[in-house]
Amino acid sequence: MYNRIKLRVCVCVCVCEASNLCQPSLPSYWPNGNPLRYLPSELLPKTTHTYDTHQKRCSGCKVPVFNRFKLNYISLSKVPDLLSSTMWCGRVALRVALQRIAVVPLNSLSITGGLPGAVQREMSSLPRVYITRQIPPEGLKILSESGQVQFDLWDSDDVPVPRKELLQKVKGVDALVCVLTEKIDAELLDAAGPNLKVLSTMSVGFDHLSLEELKKRGIRVGYTPDVLTDSVAELTVALLLTTSRRLIEATHEAKTGGWGTWRTLWLCGYELANSTVGILGLGRIGVAIAERLKPFKVKKFIYTDVAPRPELASLIDAEYVSMDELASQSDFLTVCCALTPETKDICNKDLFSKMKNTSIFINTSRGGVVDQEDLYEALSSGQIAGAGLDVTVPEPLPTSHPLFTLNNCVILPHIASASYSTRNAMSALAANNLLLGLKGQPMIKELKL
């Protein structure tokens, strides 16, 4: 039977050092159950290893397998409808046999390569989607099980797809899923061509998208607000406390012998109790941050924005103030606005010079809203007491950057929404936005262009 079937198929397998087959442990990758169960015993792996999603390596033989870890491109739930189960078993077996002889470069696999004509025709009539990143499993599962699309993806989460490859891969696609590292501009949209109708970004921010170009071409855009609000608010509070109570300095001192006797003013910081917290850009995230800070006995919340936002403000009893008042009154100033041409470098010398020298500046929105040279000056001169940044320009911030030399500056690598549940929810929302967009239906979260 196996000789008859000369196919490359799209089953998820990976090979560890000992050439045993590692089975991905995530059930979502096997919507119809792990197809390896169909294998004849002589082809079954001797050892069953699992994919350790945290370590990104085979948990059995400890070999990093993520590069060889391939998702099935075809919906596994759809394939059995198209093929007889015997043939399907044969396909799996053949793929496994090939894998055991030699590691075939997985990117040489084609989506429909080798499938019988009818199946190829059916597959090729499905809208084509390119995904610029190995996004979390929830989203891939939704796309895979929908049976509505065929997709190809940049099979890594560790490095972004190179621009040249991206420009190649988007040619002729009907829809695109991207993350915030991909600049979606005229060049990319031209490379994609007129088939592109839907863009779904797995992010709440959209400063990486050229909205004007997208609008001009009638491309609909989905994004992922709300599902990340809790995670971002939580991280903002953590960063604020880490900065104001000098936790990084403190752990460093404890670890490196700086911890002498108990001292009366050593490592003192600033507390939230009785403080005024200012929010620059009041939206869902600003409200969620304030709700979390309130139990710390904050005295007053103030905010500024392009205009008062009474409905949101009433949720946290926040007072609308001017930018100058925000700067001069805030003990803690947290930036929550989107990066737009209007907000670029809005946190600059002018703002810092009006802040108290006991105040703490926090930014979890986008690095572009801060003039980093001015911030360095304000921190190193003692104009402000400290800063906590989850976002910078560029990202990653080079380790030689002057901000890294300052004890009163805490820098995180853009992790505000980085919880497993939130990243999966973002992935799922991005997938659902895309499918709805392709069907011509309203997306769950769509940008008004």
Query: 175 or 178: whose CB is closer to ligand O=CC(=O)O?
Result: 178
If one asks whether residue 180 binds ligand O=CC(=O)O (CB under 6 A), the answer comes out as: yes
The residue ranges of DSSP E strands in 13-108, in sequence order, are 14-15, 21-23, 49-52, 57-58
CB of 305 to ligand O=CC(=O)O, least distance (A): 19
If one asks whether residue 200 binds ligand O=CC(=O)O (CB under 6 A), the answer comes out as: no
Going by C-alpha positions, the residue among 312, 317, 314, 286 that lies closest to residue 301 is 317
If one asks whether residue 280 binds ligand O=CC(=O)O (CB under 6 A), the answer comes out as: no
| Burial class of residue 134, CB neighbours in 10 A (0-12, 13-18, 19+) | middle
CB of 424 to ligand O=CC(=O)O, least distance (A): 14
Going by C-alpha positions, the residue among 269, 220, 287, 267 that lies closest to residue 434 is 220
Select from 55-63, 143-151, 164-172, 199-207 the region that touches ligand O=CC(=O)O (CB under 6 A): 199-207
Strand partners, 303: 279, 320
Query: 180 or 435: whose CB is closer to ligand O=CC(=O)O?
Result: 180
CA–CA gap between residue 320 and residue 308 (Å, rounded) = 6
C-alpha angle with apex 53: 96 to 133, nearest 5 degrees?
85
**Interacting positions 9-28 with ligand O=CC(=O)O (CB under 6 A):** none
Known active-site residue 414? yes
Going by C-alpha positions, the residue among 276, 282, 362 that lies closest to residue 315 is 282
Among residues 205, 308, 367, 402, the one that binds ligand O=CC(=O)O under rule CB under 6 A: 205
Residue nearest to ligand O=CC(=O)O (CB): 205
Report the SS3 class of residue 52: strand
CB of 192 to ligand O=CC(=O)O, least distance (A): 22
CA–CA gap between residue 302 and residue 316 (Å, rounded) = 10
Query: 228 or 385: whose CB is closer to ligand O=CC(=O)O?
Result: 228
- Preceding omega of 396 cis (within 30 degrees of 0): yes
Cα–Cα distance list, 57 to 49, 70, 98 (Å): 10, 13, 22
CB of 205 to ligand O=CC(=O)O, least distance (A): 3
Among residues 143, 166, 188, 204, the one that binds ligand O=CC(=O)O under rule CB under 6 A: 204
Query: 143 or 228: whose CB is closer to ligand O=CC(=O)O?
Result: 228
Buried b (16+ CB within 10 A) or exposed e, 62-101: ebebbebbbbbbbbbebbeebbeeebbbbbbbbbbeebee
Catalytic residue among 208, 252, 401, 414: 414
- What track of x and - describes contact with ligand O=CC(=O)O for positions 218 through 237 (by CB under 6 A)? ----------x---------
CA–CA gap between residue 306 and residue 218 (Å, rounded) = 28
Number of residues interacting with ligand O=CC(=O)O: please give it, by CB under 6 A: 6
Select from 109-117, 201-209, 240-248, 404-412 the region that touches ligand O=CC(=O)O (CB under 6 A): 201-209
Report the SS3 class of residue 360: strand
**Interacting positions 400-419 with ligand O=CC(=O)O (CB under 6 A):** 417
Select from 129-137, 170-178, 200-208, 279-287 the region that touches ligand O=CC(=O)O (CB under 6 A): 200-208
Tokens of 270: 């600033």
Catalytic residue annotation: 414
- What residues line the site for ligand O=CC(=O)O (CB under 6 A)? 180, 203-205, 228, 417
